[in-house]
Amino acid sequence: MASLTRYRIGGPAGRYGRFGSHADLAAGLESLEGAAYRVLGWGANVLVSDRGVPEPVISLSGEFDCVEMAADTVDAGGAAGLPTLVGDARREGRAGWEFLEAVPGTVGGGLRMNAGSAETGLWDRVVWAEALTPAGDLVRVQAEEAGPAYRSVQLPEEWVFTGARLAAPPGDPAAVNEVHAERRRLKVETQVYELPSCGSIWKNPGGSHGSAWAVVDRVGMRGAVRGGAQITERHANFIANLGDATAADVVWLMAETRRRVHEAEGIWLEPEIRLWGFEPEELVSVGAAS
Ligand SMILES: Cc1cc2nc3c(=O)[nH]c(=O)nc-3n(C[C@H](O)[C@H](O)[C@H](O)COP(=O)(O)OP(=O)(O)OC[C@H]3O[C@@H](n4cnc5c(N)ncnc54)[C@H](O)[C@@H]3O)c2cc1C
């Protein structure tokens, strides 16, 4: 999985399949006969255990990798890159897409994560989204049925998002260009793009605790190194792979940070990243669900 994830970390998958059409995907899901599986986009938010992930891993390609602009909407497939979607929206002068500037990943992964900024998530732009269920049914949902919240959505984990229609009203091209450039400048300046990472490790705890990076910083973990992994100096909510990091290195830094934050501030940080293939006690140590 190291070659399939942005972190460049992780052992093998039980099985791996890439599906380029609805028919192939439905047949692939059917062949699993109800067994659990994982859906992978660009792996920009997934840390895979050094032992690998026992479940079959599926991803989308082919007909799912498309972006088509219409008068005031855009249709995007589940495998389309968020950078392609955002780049097209910017070039066409469509308003309201700067919140996803410099966010790596696919539309499918973005729907699952409700990717975006602190204020805006992808579901804020959804007219409808489509998903294939394990039973092979194609379902269409609107944003209000999906229960989107900060970096989450209340739809079954096993649904595979195959595409979405998104609002993309025309804007003032010059103003659109300017807000995109400013958002990109801010992200590249304050975050870490030159080393493998999964972006923000923790969700912002909010309230008086503020941003996750500030909490991590207050407990003295900024810059901490374990093996080949480091909590970056530039952004204390990023853990970078310096070259030969293992998943165990990243998990150690997460568990230690979480322990210190609880001791100092009485809160348990909640991970934003998804962890695959870990033992229950490892997941508990970082506050993750299985
Ligand atoms: C440098 C950097 C900056 C980042 N900045 C941001 C940011 O500003 N805002 C933000 O929100 N995120 C950010 N991220 C995290 C990441 O970009 C997003 O979470 C993105 O949505 C991940 O998309 P993906 O396709 O890589 O999903 P993956 O990492 O492959 O998967 C993430 C989750 O989505 C599920 N999934 C993937 N594809 C599908 C599908 N088709 N159907 C159903 N489920 C699916 C997976 O099972 C998994 O649970 C950043 C990451 C990096 C490395």
pLDDT > 90: percent of the chain: 97
- Cα separation values, 160 from 37, 104, 163, 192, Å: 10, 19, 9, 29
- What's 2-62's CATH class? alpha beta
State the residue for tokens 């870990």: 278
Going by C-beta distance under 8 Å and a sequence separation of 6 or more, which residues neighbour residue 255? 285, 286
CA of 106 relative to ligand 1 center, distance in Å: 7
Which residue among 49, 59, 197, 200 is the active-site one? Answer: 200
pLDDT > 70: percent of the chain: 100
- Calpha distance 67→77 (Å, rounded): 7
Pocket of ligand 1 (CB under 6 A): 6, 38-46, 60, 78, 103-106, 108-110, 112-113, 115-116, 160-161, 191, 193, 197-199, 274
Pocket-testing residue among 113, 130, 132, ligand 1, by greatest number of atoms within 8 A of Cβ: 113
Looking at residue 206, its pLDDT comes to 82
pLDDT above 90 for 89:
yes
Question: Per-residue pLDDT tens for 129-141?
Answer: 999 999 999 999 9
- Calpha distance 7→243 (Å, rounded): 10
Mean pLDDT of 76-91: 98
- What is the side-by-side order of every strand in the sheet holding 225-226? 225-226, 229-231, 239-241
Looking at residue 207, its pLDDT comes to 85
CATH fold, domain 207-286, is: 3.90.78
Mean pLDDT of 223-237: 98
Mean pLDDT of 104-115: 98
Mean pLDDT of 3-9: 98
* φ and ψ at residue 39, rounded to 5 degrees: -110, 130
pLDDT above 80 for 290:
no
Q: Is 51 a catalytic residue?
A: no
| Entry pTM | 0.97
Which residue, judged by its Cα, is nearest atom 38 of ligand 1?
Answer: 109
CA of 8 relative to ligand 1 center, distance in Å: 15
Q: Is 59 a catalytic residue?
A: no
> What's at 78, amino acid-wise?
G
CA of 210 relative to ligand 1 center, distance in Å: 23
CA of 7 relative to ligand 1 center, distance in Å: 12
CATH fold, domain 65-189, is: 3.30.465
Q: Is 272 a catalytic residue?
A: yes
Q: In the chain, what are the domain boundaries?
A: 2-62, 65-189, 207-286
CA of 46 relative to ligand 1 center, distance in Å: 7
- At 289, the pLDDT band (50, 70, 90 cuts) reads confident
